[in-house]
Amino acid sequence: MKRYKIKIEYDGTPFIGWQRQENGQSIQGAIEDSIKNIFGETITIFGAGRTDAGVHAMGQVAHFDINNKELEPFVIKNALNDHLRPFPIAILDVDEVDNQFHARFNALQRKYLYRIVNRKSPLTIEKGRAWHVHKDIEVDPMKECISLIEGKHDFTTFRSAHCQSNSPIKTIDSLKITKSDENIYFGFSAKSFLHHQVRSIVGSLKLVGEQSWSVNDFSDALSSKERSRCGAVAPPDGLYFMEVKY
């Protein structure tokens, strides 16, 4: 049996999310079906993170096992990319790994990027790939919230009601907020995240940036540990799974 690690890029717009489900096309399902078509084996791939419907990835990582195959990684990469057409999924890298490797459980850090396009005019080319915010957003007030978010906290306020994590306590290694022209970027790094944590935080930070909330309002919302105190959750369009470190 051979175990392979793959790095994946995808546009999440047409999918119901990473995880295979009965009610639509998933990224996991598309890749598993392609592997079955190529190798004649029904397998399960294990991803480093389960992205929601509409969420994109630049560096999702997954692994899978194949029996009795002696194919080079580049052959698997080319075959998968060929079979995945016309899905907006690309296999960027394939590596043979030790059978002890696990894409999810061996991950030391995950990085997500959230992107806002802050302008009056509607999005055309970028539609579905960023959160379009009409109202002017100031970056400096949002940056004042970084020290409140980084580190180990109870993030109940910024946790989906459907989150399956055993604990709301997570450690955010770093958060960087930058602006370039009309683009505002939020870069999050942590070992793991709660369901909707990044989108929930960004939705509340946006309220600070447009001065609907003060920094103290954000701090009070976090401290309250009440989901009802969270601002409107940012849409999936602007979220990108960027990288996994092992």
CATH number of the domain enclosing 120? 3.30.70.660
Does 134 share its domain with 46? no
Q: Which of 52, 65, 95, 217 is catalytic?
A: 52
Q: Quick one: pLDDT band at residue 156, thresholds 50, 70, 90?
A: very high
Is 134 inside any structural domain?
yes
The whole domain housing 214 covers: 109-245
- Is the domain of 70 the same as that of 114? no
Residue 158 reports pLDDT greater than 80: yes
Which of 97, 132, 155 is the last residue before a domain boundary?
97
Q: Is residue 236 part of a domain?
A: yes
Number of domains in the chain: 2
Kindly report, residue by residue over 96-130, the tens digit of the pLDDT.
999 999 999 999 999 999 999 999 999 999 999 99
Task: Please state the φ and ψ torsions of residue 142, each to the nearest 5 degrees.
Answer: -65, -40
Q: Considering the chain, what percentage of its residues have pLDDT values greater than 90?
A: 94
Give residue 71's pLDDT. 83
Task: Tell me the pLDDT band of 145, cut-offs 50, 70 and 90.
Answer: very high
The answer to the question of residue 103 being in a domain is no
pLDDT in tens, 11-20: 999 999 999 9
- Is 126 part of any domain? yes
Please report, for the domain that includes residue 9, its CATH number: 3.30.70.580
Same domain, 149 and 211: yes
Alpha-carbon span 102 to 233, nearest angstrom: 31
- What pLDDT, on a 0 to 100 scale, did the predictor assign at position 10? 98
Asked whether residue 113 falls in the same domain as residue 93, the answer is no
pTM of this structure: 0.95
Catalytic residue status for 52: yes
41-84: per-residue pLDDT in tens? 999 999 999 999 999 999 999 999 998 677 899 999 999 999 99
CA trace torsion 198, 17, 117, 218 (10° rounding): -20
Domain boundary among 72, 97, 122: 97
Residue 33 lies in a domain: yes
Final residue belonging to a domain, choices 97, 122, 154: 97
Residue 92 has pLDDT above 90, yes or no: yes
In this structure, which long-range contacts are made by residues 30-34, counting pairs with CB atoms below 8 Å and at least 24 apart in sequence?
30/84, 30/87, 30/89, 31/6, 31/62, 31/80, 31/84, 31/89, 31/91, 32/64, 34/80, 34/83, 34/84
Share of residues in the chain with pLDDT > 70 (%)? 99
Is the pLDDT reported for residue 2 higher than 80? Answer: yes
DSSP per-residue letters across 167-188: -SEEEEEEEEEEEETTEEEEEE
Domain presence at residue 170: yes
What's residue 233's pLDDT?
98
Please check whether residue 104 lies inside any domain of the structure.
Answer: no
**Residue 27 pLDDT more than 90?**
yes
Strands 131-133 and 109-118: parallel
Are 93 and 123 in a shared domain?
Answer: no
Domain-embedded: residue 162: yes
